[in-house]
Structure 1
Amino acid sequence: MCGRFSLTATPKELADVFGLLETEDFPARFNIAPTQPIIIVMSGERQRPGSNLPDRRALLVRWGLTPSWVKDPRDFPLLINARAETAAGKASFKAAMRHRRILIPASGFYEWHRPSKESGEASQAYWIRPRDGGIVAFAGLMETWSSADGSEVDTGAILTTHANSRIGDVHDRMPVVIKPEDFARWLDCRTQEPRDVADLLAPADDDYFEVIAVSDRVNKVANTGADLQTPVHVAARPAAKPKEPPANPQLSLF
């Protein structure tokens, strides 16, 4: 899954990577949490033939998708993630998969390794970022929810898939990453149906991300500084206890 992420790129960097028509100024954010505003990239109006102007635009939406048919969001679960394997068939996501696919820019994301109580291990937070730096584009979905009084709220969710072998040491899910050469195809909801872009919903290559242990301060939304991404030392995981050898049947009283 993806429960927190970061975006520290400048507006110019964002415009250059995604080919945006225009961008507003925004601050670096080191701890973006569910229900907060996030920047998304979507297809804009088609330019005239021969135009060199970009046709994508950035928009602020609430992180937590609310389908248009929901009557009261207070009675509906917060959908910050959508499983890529089933989104096209789920009532909450199928319309967005067909008509409102988006990109969600990030500098990286946080994940937690939460072992079983029986293992004796402590939970550990990790900062996961592209090994080569820069901006990563998560596959996302968008819906606009309208209230009874006519007000509208734009909302979004991140698509996740099964983890690659590197992330799998921490968690069994990870965000879907869309490569720059696939931006246009993913965002094209006019000619590309969900089945046409299903091949993009795969885990990133094993060496794409680096995984860095960080403090549990990222758990608190109030903590928003760059120090959240400072590496910490992680003690070696305890060795598994050896199994007791079976009793010698010749010495058994039974």
Structure 2
Amino acid sequence: MCGRFTITHPNEALAALFDAVPGNDLPVGPRFNICPTQSVAVVTSDVGQRRLRAMRWGFLPSWYKTPTDGPLIINARSDSIAQKPAFREAVRARRCIVPASGFYEWQTGEDGAKLPWYFTRRDGAPMALAGIWQPWGEVDTVAIVSTEAGPGMQGLHHREALMLEAPDWPLWLGEAGHGAAVLMKPAADGLMQCHRVDRKVNSNRAEGPELIVPLAA
């Protein structure tokens, strides 16, 4: 996790929420099935100025000669991020926030079928997912940081995306000094809600608001 997510909030609303200057190359929304290798909006802090920028979801280490030189890296584990050669410089110097309106997680049904669930914040606000980024050639690439799953994951997976609350954004972005490691913990109990959605989202080609509609009982 996190392997798919949504952005249904407008870019203008995200820029206002994070007090960030929006770029002119941001992907157009709403988007209901964002998949790895696609362009996503990312918040960075550059010399005290936050920016909402487009990046490729799929972190490319500096030694990759092509995007397929190694595994597709979409997540970085919080418990090893500071030691892994691919991530240790990025987690020190290039932390970012990946806004999301919600994300999908799957459970395996009795017949082996993959059953999707859609997670959002209970308050309807965008999620602020912790990320790290890496320039690669002319492309900036990003991975979402994961941590151990909390009770909000409902036992569907042993990992969850690291969600940041607004008071913690300056620390994660490097605006408030050092010590961001203290933020690497599961979301508070009761922060998230989820519901089953149709299996059509299992296809990475599916798109549209019907993907997040609760499945009828």
After TM superposition, is the score higher than 0.5? yes
Q: Residue 16 in 1 paired to residue 16 in 2?
A: yes
Query: 1: CA distance between counterparts of 2:161 and 2:91?
Result: 16
* AA of the residue aligned to 1:59: R
Match of 2:70 in 1: 76
Write 1 or 2 for the structure with the bigger share of strand. Answer: 2
Specify every segment of 5 or more residues in structure 2 that has no aligned partner in the other structure, as ranges: none
1:123 pairs, out of 109, 114, 118, with 114
Q: How many percent identity over aligned positions?
A: 38
Match of 1:57 in 2: 51
1:100 pairs, out of 94, 97, 100, with 94
The one-character-per-residue Cα deviations of 1:154-212 (angstroms, maximum 9, x if unpaired) are: 100000111111304211111000111111110017942xxx11110100012011011
1:13 deviation in Å?
Answer: 1.3
Q: Residue 212 in 1 paired to residue 195 in 2?
A: yes
The one-character-per-residue Cα deviations of 1:20-57 (angstroms, maximum 9, x if unpaired) are: 123546321111000000110000233xxxxxxxx200
Match of 2:2 in 1: 2
Match of 2:143 in 1: 157
SS of alignment partner, residue 57 of structure 1: strand
CA contact (8 A) 1:176 1:202 kept: yes
Pair 1:231–1:41, CA change in 2 (3 A):
same
CA contact (8 A) 1:2 1:174 kept: yes
Alpha-carbon RMSD across the aligned residues, in angstroms, is 1.8
1:70 deviation in Å?
Answer: 2.0
* AA of the residue aligned to 2:167: E
CA contact (8 A) 2:12 2:22 kept: no
Match of 1:31 in 2: 33
1:215 deviation in Å?
Answer: 1.0
Query: 2: CA distance between counterparts of 1:12 and 1:35?
Result: 23
SS of alignment partner, residue 161 of structure 1: strand
Q: Residue 175 in 1 paired to residue 161 in 2?
A: yes
Q: Residue 224 in 1 paired to residue 186 in 2?
A: no
SS of alignment partner, residue 96 of structure 1: helix
Query: 2: CA distance between counterparts of 1:99 and 1:168?
Result: 33
Scaled by the length of structure 2, the TM-score of the pair is 0.93
Query: 1: CA distance between counterparts of 2:53 and 2:162?
Result: 20
Pair 1:6–1:31, CA change in 2 (3 A):
same
CA contact (8 A) 1:15 1:23 kept: no
* AA of the residue aligned to 1:35: T
Query: 2: CA distance between counterparts of 1:23 and 1:11?
Result: 10
Q: Residue 184 in 1 paired to residue 170 in 2?
A: yes
CA contact (8 A) 2:152 2:191 kept: no
Scaled by the length of structure 1, the TM-score of the pair is 0.80
Match of 1:238 in 2: none
Query: 2: CA distance between counterparts of 1:122 and 1:232?
Result: 16
Aligned length: 215
SS of alignment partner, residue 20 of structure 2: coil
